[in-house]
Amino acid sequence: MTFGLVNVIGSTIARETDAGAYLRVGPEIGVASTKAFTAQVCVFTMLALLLGKEKGVLSDAEFREGAADLWATPDTIERVLKESAAPIHAVSRSFRFAQSFLYLGRGYNYPVALEGALKLKEISYIHAEGYAAAEMKHGPIALIDEFMPVVMILPSSDPTYEKIKSNLAEVRARSGVVICVTEESNSELEELRELCEEVVTVPETKDWLSPLVTVIPLQLLSYYIADLRGCPVD
């Protein structure tokens, strides 16, 4: 059985799959898919909650709590859009001339690293690579220097937070320039500000919901860099 996540009603995928869900977020204005990506993550999260309940992995109370957390996420995203726009625009001015970017994340935020790199490539024409932070030593570490910004997603709610910090130390040991995304409630925020060139903060969320929040600054970063470079974003 195939299940399709489709934004365009009546598209080929909708016709050819056995079942599916329409995203219903409206047509994308530009080539780079932002709201459709977020909607896909949202639908997968809804599926995970439902399957967890049906399989007995989640109790009714846990299911309702998870659904309530997901329901509140749009308000969190709106906060990120309002509060992060100006800081990320400033970051973009500093890094718009870079020739290559590396994006690192672990667990839930590894796909976010891939998404951040993809968006930067699509609309700014800068080479960017998303990589699992745990595998950084197997290739990308050889390329890190002061001329290649490294975007690291470091939510303190992540169970692997200490391991991500060790990756940060490895990047710094090679004179890497780090742009860090973490929660505003992170108790080590000041330490991160000393270690990183730029720290972008987002509201705290459950670790399994963090991709819906941490991806927003990366999409904004791509947009502003492309705009500052004079690229046709749309």
Structure confidence at residue 66 as a pLDDT band (50, 70, 90): very high
Measured from the Cβ of residue 44, the count of other Cβ atoms closer than 10 Å reads: 13
Q: Does residue 162 form part of some domain?
A: yes
Which structural domain, as residue segments, surrounds residue 135? 82-228
Q: Does residue 137 form part of some domain?
A: yes
Which neighbouring-strand residues pair with 81? Answer: none
Q: Does residue 70 form part of some domain?
A: no
User: What are the Cα distances from residue 134, in Å, to 104, 111, 141, 166?
Assistant: 9, 13, 11, 10
Distance CA 211, CA 188 (A): 20
- Mean pLDDT for the stretch of residues 112-137: 93
- In this structure, the strands spanning 19-22 and 3-6 are parallel
Number of domains in the chain: 1
What is the H or E stretch that residue 133 is in? none
Q: Does residue 119 form part of some domain?
A: yes
Q: What is the pLDDT of residue 8?
A: 85
Q: Does residue 64 form part of some domain?
A: no
Q: Does residue 74 form part of some domain?
A: no
- Mean pLDDT for the stretch of residues 162-183: 91
CATH number, domain containing residue 117: 3.40.50.10490
The amino acid occupying position 62 is E
Q: Does residue 141 form part of some domain?
A: yes
For the whole model, what pTM was predicted? 0.91
The phi, psi pair for 149, rounded to 5°, reads: -60, 140
Q: Would the pLDDT of 30 be above 80?
A: no
Q: With beta carbons less than 8 A apart as the criterion, state whether 116 and 91 touch.
A: no
Q: Would the pLDDT of 58 be above 80?
A: yes
Burial of 69 (0-12, 13-18, 19+ CB in 10 A): middle
Model pLDDT for residues 177-218, shown as the tens digit of each residue = 999 999 999 988 999 999 999 999 999 999 999 999 999 999
Q: What is the pLDDT of residue 11?
A: 87
